[in-house]
Amino acid sequence: MRIAIWLALLGIVAGFAYAFWLVIRRHAERKQAAEERMAAFIAQTMRPTAPKLEPAPAAVAPPAVAGNLAMEKLLFEAAAKAGEAGEAALSIQLYARLIARYPASAFAAQARSAADAQKGKLARS
Model confidence over 92-106: pLDDT tens digits?
999 899 888 888 888
The radius of gyration of the chain's CA atoms, rounded to the nearest angstrom, is 40
Is-contact 108 98, C-beta < 8 A?
yes
Q: What is the DSSP letter of 105?
A: -
Q: Alpha carbon of 24 to those of 13, 35, 50: distances in Å?
A: 16, 17, 38
pLDDT of residue 10: 96
Report angle CA 109, 112, 114 to the nearest 5 degrees. Answer: 105
pLDDT of residue 7: 95
Q: How many CA atoms lie within 13 A of 21 on its CB side?
A: 6
- Whole-angstrom distance, CA of residue 75 vs CA of residue 78: 5
Q: Alpha carbon of 111 to those of 2, 23, 107, 125: distances in Å?
A: 111, 82, 6, 21
pTM for this one? Answer: 0.47
Instruction: Please report the sign of the dihedral spanned by the C-alpha atoms of residue 21, residue 27, residue 29, residue 31.
Output: negative
Out of 12-16, 17-21, 50-54, which region has the weakest mean confidence (pLDDT)?
Answer: 50-54
Quick: pLDDT tens for 29-78.
Answer: 999 999 999 998 888 888 766 555 566 665 544 544 556 788 888 888 99
16 pLDDT more than 90: yes
- Whole-angstrom distance, CA of residue 61 vs CA of residue 114: 30
